[in-house]
A and B are shown apart, each in its own frame.
Chain A
């Protein structure tokens, strides 16, 4: 069973996430000035980038937890991988939604085939594939093992996808080039705050989902044990 201190720690992380998110929103909407060329709609960038960072971080955790699971066969590691995937796919979806929301007013097109955004799109599909495998295998050990392997394959695939899209883009330059922004001090600070806030949120949500999965497993085990003695 889990030590009492754990719930306290997790709750603290949750409160920290809440506070940081409020601060990040205040910073992004009130503190930081509107961007020179894009105006207020650019503010979505702070959450877009923060989500993107966590989308990839989450998949790294899926990969790492999968590798560790294959070595140790400890179920909490698999629950961690599964939790990170569920939370990660949400962050990825946020990236894919905020991207077009930002692109349309600024560049008058929903999708720019930007390298990073397109790689994130493929990452989304890899997440979906990972979750599909988990949904399709009933036996817990096998599910853990197969999804760990896919997590590894998916993770090594992501950089390869990135490069392929980048070279593809360099051959087919698209008219819209999102380009870079000149970022002033307050903007950088806001961005960092936003990234930190979202990361803490990611940690909190992942731990929460992981604990929930572990409890579910323990419950079903307890039921099973009861059934066997009857």
Chain B
């Protein structure tokens, strides 16, 4: 069976379990939306449009940590992780499968949060929407890659859900800066020149944080 088929099987399982009313995605969406609103109060976005890109990504990434916690917590609970460990697949398949599932959950959350954000902030990418979409994909991929491996690490620790934000966000700084800066370009707060620098930069980050964890994932899961 091919690598990608195996990855799809692992992702499918996570997606199926979530669809069964686990409600992690619903919680993530609700959390992201309320953060957008709270940050609007906190930064008086009506006055300064410059804070808008930061608000969006802060909301999306903070809400995203909820979903990341879920991705490994359930495995440990019923010993499902062992079932994955004895499957005749490379450990990297487990990483890729979890990554893909987390990515899809993030896209779902973003699909709701971004339109609402544009509405509340009275801002939007306009004609630059394909670039915005590209940026969302690349940025979310970086978040999900670092997030998946670090969630796996945190799941072994006591109170891992509380540990995850502490270990994730310092590592995510490049993605956060990149997403916010590229969003500024797309929203018309800056020219499109910087957009490409940031996009390629995030692509580099994505490659790094997919390749290295994939190699190390064996060590994360073993005991």
Report the minimum CB–CB distance from B139 to chain A (whole Å).
12
Asked whether, in the complex, the Cβ of A152 is within 8 Å of the Cβ of B160, the reply is: no
How many residue pairs link A and B with beta carbons under 8 A? The number is 93
Contacts of A156 in B (CB 8 A): 208, 212
The CA of A148 and the CA of B220, in the complex, are separated in Å by 10
The CA of A52 and the CA of B222, in the complex, are separated in Å by 36
Asked whether, in the complex, the Cβ of B194 is within 8 Å of the Cβ of A152, the reply is: no
Q: Which of B170, B213, B220 has the most CB of A within 10 A?
A: B170
Q: Size range of the interface on A?
A: 20 to 34
Answer whether residue B169 sits at the interface, using C-beta atoms and an 8 A cutoff: yes
| A141-172 interface code vs B (CB 8 A; 1 in, 0 out) | 01001101110111011001101110110010
Asked whether, in the complex, the Cβ of A164 is within 8 Å of the Cβ of B178, the reply is: yes
Asked whether, in the complex, the Cβ of A142 is within 8 Å of the Cβ of B223, the reply is: yes
Asked whether, in the complex, the Cβ of A132 is within 8 Å of the Cβ of B166, the reply is: yes
Contacts of B150 in A (CB 8 A): 150, 153
Contacts of A122 in B (CB 8 A): 170, 173
Asked whether, in the complex, the Cβ of B149 is within 8 Å of the Cβ of A146, the reply is: no
Asked whether, in the complex, the Cβ of A167 is within 8 Å of the Cβ of B201, the reply is: yes
Which residue on chain B has the smallest CB distance to residue A172?
A: B181
Answer whether residue B205 sits at the interface, using C-beta atoms and an 8 A cutoff: yes
Segment from A81-89, A109-117, A123-131, A214-222 that makes contact with B: A123-131
Contacts of B198 in A (CB 8 A): 167
Contacts of B174 in A (CB 8 A): 157, 160-161, 163-164
The CA of A129 and the CA of B170, in the complex, are separated in Å by 8
The CA of A153 and the CA of B160, in the complex, are separated in Å by 18
Answer whether residue B216 sits at the interface, using C-beta atoms and an 8 A cutoff: yes
Which residue on chain B has the smallest CB distance to residue A136?
A: B157
The CA of A29 and the CA of B82, in the complex, are separated in Å by 62
* B residues 9-54 touching A (CB-CB < 8 Å): none
Asked whether, in the complex, the Cβ of A146 is within 8 Å of the Cβ of B153, the reply is: yes
Interface size on B, residues (CB 8 A): 37
The CA of A153 and the CA of B154, in the complex, are separated in Å by 14
Asked whether, in the complex, the Cβ of B212 is within 8 Å of the Cβ of A137, the reply is: no
Contacts of A189 in B (CB 8 A): none
Contacts of A145 in B (CB 8 A): 219-220, 222
Answer whether residue A133 sits at the interface, using C-beta atoms and an 8 A cutoff: yes
Contacts of A171 in B (CB 8 A): 181, 190, 194
Asked whether, in the complex, the Cβ of A126 is within 8 Å of the Cβ of B153, the reply is: no
Report the minimum CB–CB distance from A162 to chain B (whole Å).
9
Q: If A125-B169, A133-B157, A161-B174 touch, does A153 touch B149 (CB 8 Å cutoff)?
A: yes
Among B169, B208, B213, which residue has its beta carbon within 8 angstroms of that of A160? B208
| B156-169 interface code vs A (CB 8 A; 1 in, 0 out) | 11111001001101
Asked whether, in the complex, the Cβ of A146 is within 8 Å of the Cβ of B177, the reply is: no
Which residue on chain B has the smallest CB distance to residue A162?
A: B174
Asked whether, in the complex, the Cβ of A137 is within 8 Å of the Cβ of B156, the reply is: yes
Answer whether residue A177 sits at the interface, using C-beta atoms and an 8 A cutoff: no
Answer whether residue B197 sits at the interface, using C-beta atoms and an 8 A cutoff: yes
Report the minimum CB–CB distance from A47 to chain B (whole Å).
25
The CA of A165 and the CA of B198, in the complex, are separated in Å by 11
The CA of A168 and the CA of B222, in the complex, are separated in Å by 39
Contacts of B208 in A (CB 8 A): 156, 160
The CA of A126 and the CA of B174, in the complex, are separated in Å by 13
The CA of A136 and the CA of B157, in the complex, are separated in Å by 5
Asked whether, in the complex, the Cβ of A161 is within 8 Å of the Cβ of B173, the reply is: yes
The CA of A167 and the CA of B205, in the complex, are separated in Å by 15
Kindly list the 10 A-B residue pairs having the minimum CB-CB distance in the complex, ordered from nearest.
A136-B157, A125-B170, A129-B167, A164-B174, A164-B177, A160-B174, A126-B170, A136-B158, A157-B171, A137-B157
Contacts beyond the supplied A128-B170, A133-B154: 10 A-B pairs with Cβ under 8 Å: A122-B173, A137-B158, A145-B219, A146-B156, A150-B153, A157-B171, A161-B174, A164-B174, A171-B190, A171-B194
Subset of 7 A-B contacts with CB under 8 Å: A133-B153, A137-B156, A145-B219, A149-B153, A153-B146, A160-B205, A167-B201
